[in-house]
Amino acid sequence: MNPRNLLVIGGSGFVGSAIVRRLAAQGRRVVVPTRRRERAKHLILLPTVDVVEADVHDEAALGALAAGKDAVINLVGILHGDRGEPYGEQFRRAHVELPRRIATAAAAAGVARLLHMSALGATARAPSMYLRSKAAGELALREAAGNVAWTIFRPSVIFGRDDRFINLFAQMQRFLPLVALGRAEARLQPVHVEDVAAAFVHALDRPACAGRTYDLAGPRAYTLRELVAFAGRESGHPRPVIGLPDALAYLQAFAMEFSPWPLLSRDNLDSLGVPSTSAEPFAPELGVTPVSLESVMAPLLAHRLPRERYMQLRDRAGR
């Protein structure tokens, strides 16, 4: 196994970009479909990467994209969607139907390898639509994969330079006098985006990873409150973190769902109802020793301080 021609669906996103950069650095040819080419412009300059506008939900388009590929990677995921039981239509389409279609297209095109991104805590009886639909997606993909050698990854929350998690907590504390937090005692085991990307790329070449499902979690677990406090402290804007009782937290999330870009939904709070932690260390065949949150994010958050001051001075000077 040494796939040279790859299709990376969801390759324009936070995790996908880290994977695509690694693949390109190894000289592998990568096609990244996107709904808007503009969103993937940071990948266009990579020499072996082709960014194409395509509707991956369309069977014919997907078949054409999969043709001639040695491996397909699926990273498509959404955090918010309409409500329903066991999940709403948008979750069904992105997390269940799309993995099924991708696996079917990969099998029909004779693709050898299929890597799929799920999430830690995904089970049919999980408390959120996000996690229930991710579980159904794993099942759908395995059912449709036929002879394609699949591997599924289930990460906890992922941090890194461009994350919308630790960076968001840091940014919020720049503007807010305090942080009112739902599910403040929820437990998470954050994992670095480069460790996730390295695990994907290693798994491509290792036959031992075929037919396996891997948890991906960092070296230690934290409460959500600890993570928010860490982001505030390291970015130089530490604020008090007040834990909200559930009734208030759900009211806050319900109000946020009316925003065109909701930061939080009731379903996100539901996801936090189960620990996103794993007792399983990184499997040795993935070739990764996970790094700590502090070693990566503390310098990045501290570095923002002088940059932020510079940007403020520029703004004031009208430049």
Ligand X SMILES: NC(=O)c1ccc[n+]([C@@H]2O[C@H](COP(=O)([O-])OP(=O)(O)OC[C@H]3O[C@@H](n4cnc5c(N)ncnc54)[C@H](OP(=O)(O)O)[C@@H]3O)[C@@H](O)[C@H]2O)c1
Q: For binding to ligand X (CB under 6 A), which residues are involved?
A: 10, 12-16, 34-35, 39-40, 56, 75-78, 94, 117, 119, 155, 157-158, 165
Q: Distance (Å, rounded) from C-alpha 152 to C-alpha 73?
A: 10
For the CB of residue 16, give the shortest distance to ligand X in the complex, in Å. Answer: 5
Give how far Cα 101 sits from Cα of 49, 95, 238, Å: 23, 11, 46
Q: How far is the CB of 240 from ligand X (least distance, A)?
A: 25
- For the bound state, the minimum distance from the C-beta of residue 75 to ligand X, rounded and expressed in Å, comes to 4
Nearer to ligand X, 162 or 315 (CB): 162
**CA–CA separation, 12 and 73 (whole Å):** 12
Of 165 and 250, CB closest to ligand X: 165
Q: Are 111 and 66 in contact (CB under 8 A)?
A: yes
Angstrom distance (rounded) from CA 273 to CA 49: 39
Q: Tell me the closest approach of the beta carbon of residue 7 to ligand X, in angstroms.
A: 13
Nearer Cβ to ligand X (2/77): 77
Nearer to ligand X, 12 or 235 (CB): 12
R_g (Cα) of the chain, nearest Å: 20
CB of 217 to ligand X, least distance (A): 10
Task: Give 251 or 256: the residue with its C-beta nearer to ligand X.
Answer: 256
For ligand X, give the closer residue by CB, 52 or 149. Answer: 52
Shortest reach from residue 311's CB to ligand X, in Å: 24
For ligand X, the closer of residues 51 and 241 by Cβ is 51
Least distance CB 232 / ligand X (angstroms)? 19
Measured at CB, which residue is nearest to ligand X? 13
Angle at CA of residue 23, ends 22 and 24, nearest 5° = 90
CB of 4 to ligand X, least distance (A): 22
Q: Which is nearer to ligand X, 58 or 314 (CB)?
A: 58
Rounded to a whole number of angstroms, the minimum distance from the CB of residue 15 to ligand X is: 4
> 203 or 242: whose CB is closer to ligand X?
203
